[in-house]
Amino acid sequence: MDYIGRLTAHLPTANRLLMVKADGSVSIHADDRAYKPLNWMSPPCRIEEAPGVWRVVNKAGEELRITLEEVLHDSSHELGVDPGLRKDGVEAHLQELLAASPGVLREGYTLVRREFPTAIGPVDLFCRDAGGGSVAVEIKRRAGIDAVEQLTRYLELLNRDPLLAPVAGVLAAQSIAPQARTLAEDRDIRCVVVDYDALRGIERDELTLF
Amino acid sequence: MDYIGRLTAHLPTANRLLMVKADGSVSIHADDRAYKPLNWMSPPCRIEEAPGVWRVVNKAGEELRITLEEVLHDSSHELGVDPGLRKDGVEAHLQELLAASPGVLREGYTLVRREFPTAIGPVDLFCRDAGGGSVAVEIKRRAGIDAVEQLTRYLELLNRDPLLAPVAGVLAAQSIAPQARTLAEDRDIRCVVVDYDALRGIERDELTLF
DNA sequence: CGTTGTATGTCGCAT
DNA sequence: ATGCGACGTACAACG
- Determine the structural domain holding residue B36 and report its residue range: 2-67
Rg (CA), chain A: 25
| Beta strands B167-176; B189-193: pairing state | parallel
- Residue A139 sits in the same domain as residue A205: yes
Structural domain contains residue B144: yes
CA atoms of A104 and A84, how far apart (whole Å): 33
CA atoms of B85 and B70, how far apart (whole Å): 36
- Residue A99 sits in the same domain as residue A198: yes
Residue A210: pLDDT over 60? no
In this prediction, residues B43-48 reach a mean pLDDT of 90
- Give ∠ CA B103-B108-B112 in degrees, rounded to 5: 75
Check A42 against B34: CB less than 8 A apart: yes
Structural domain contains residue A85: no
pLDDT-based confidence at A146, cuts 50/70/90?
confident
Number of domains in chain B: 2
CA at A86, C1' at D3: how many angstroms apart?
32
Check A12 against B75: CB less than 8 A apart: no
Give the phi and the psi of residue A111 in degrees, each rounded to 5: -80, 130
- For residues B13 and B34, is the Cβ–Cβ distance under 8 A? no
Give the phi and the psi of residue B111 in degrees, each rounded to 5: -80, 130
Q: Can you point out the beta strands (E) in chain B? A: 2-4, 8-10, 17-20, 26-29, 39-41, 45-50, 53-58, 63-67, 86-88, 110-116, 123-128, 134-143, 167-176, 189-193
Task: Please count the residue pairs, one from chain A and one from chain B, whose beta carbons lie less than 8 angstroms apart.
Answer: 151
- Give ∠ CA B38-B18-B12 in degrees, rounded to 5: 50
Average pLDDT, chain A: 88
DSSP structural state of residue A72: S
- Residue B59 sits in the same domain as residue B97: no
- Which of A35, A52, A67 finishes a domain? A67
Option in A15, A21, A120 nearest B32 (CB): A21
- Residue A58 sits in the same domain as residue A102: no
Cβ of B3 less than 7 A from strand C: yes
pLDDT value of residue B72: 95
- Residue B105 sits in the same domain as residue B202: yes
pLDDT value of residue A142: 80
CA at B210, C1' at C9: how many angstroms apart?
46
- Residue A201 sits in the same domain as residue A108: yes
> How confident is the model over A108-144, as pLDDT tens digits?
999 998 888 887 788 899 999 999 999 999 988 888 7
- The Cβ of residue A205 has, within 10 Å, a number of other Cβ atoms equal to 10
Cβ of B43 less than 7 A from strand D: no
Which CATH number does the domain housing residue A32 bear? 2.70.180.20
- Residue B125 sits in the same domain as residue B30: no
CA atoms of B14 and B18, how far apart (whole Å): 12
Check B86 against A13: CB less than 8 A apart: no
- For residues A56 and A47, is the Cβ–Cβ distance under 8 A? yes
CA atoms of B65 and A107, how far apart (whole Å): 40
CA at B175, C1' at C3: how many angstroms apart?
12
> How confident is the model over B175-202, as pLDDT tens digits?
899 889 999 999 999 999 988 778 877 7
Which CATH number does the domain housing residue B100 bear? 3.40.1350.10
Q: Evaluate the CA torsion angle B92, B97, B99, B100 in order and state its sign.
A: positive
CA atoms of A35 and B37, how far apart (whole Å): 7
CA atoms within 13 A on the CB side of A43: 12
- Residue B123 sits in the same domain as residue B187: yes
CA atoms of A105 and B155, how far apart (whole Å): 36
